[in-house]
Amino acid sequence: MMPISLHIRTSQLDGSASGVTKKEIVRVISEELGLTQQQTKEVVQRTFDSIVEMLVREGRVELRNFGVFEVKLRAARSARNPKTSQQVHVPEKYVVSFKPGKEMEQRVQNLSEQPGRPAWLDPDYEPEGSPPQPTADSTEHPARSTHSQNLKSAREADHPNRPTGDWA
């Protein structure tokens, strides 16, 4: 089977604040190959499922010119709960690591040299629809990350009738 090289232009993607979704990848591949979106979706999903299955079974999946997925054991450790400042035990767990291939690494490294580079590379870039960044006079806990704030906002949006505050 001959390898297929798809050249996805950023103009083909909708540029949503959440990044590129599987749905967008399916749409672009479908257009490039002349397949239906349903056919393409099935191939893409089966590819993802196969990668996960092989990773679980073999512990390592190497995709030449793309990268290597590997299961690693993260050791147990002691950490600090950012809400209470108490020390907590974090048990060991298996995690998936990804090491990009040389071609991907090189293309990412070359981003800074591209004319008309993507807006998201600008350190001050804020995607449309993103929550405002905390200011110095914010009343939020200083240890709370923007990620934590986004998760909290998402939980509150998903459950508007639930009491507000920090809940798991």
- pLDDT category at 114 given cuts 50, 70, 90 is confident
Of 74, 62, 68, 73, give the one whose Cα is nearest residue 98.
Answer: 68
The more confident residue out of 108 and 3 is: 108
Which range is most confident: 43-52, 102-111, 140-149? 43-52
Domains and CATH numbers, the chain: 1-58 (no CATH), 60-114 (4.10.520.10)
Instruction: Please give the share of the chain, as a percent, with pLDDT higher than 90.
Output: 51
d(CA 37, CA 31): 8
The predicted-structure confidence for 60-89, as pLDDT tens digits, reads as follows: 999 999 999 999 999 999 999 999 999 999
pLDDT of residue 162: 46
Query: Nearest to residue 129, comparing CAs of 159, 152, 150, 104?
Result: 150
3-state secondary structure of 34: coil
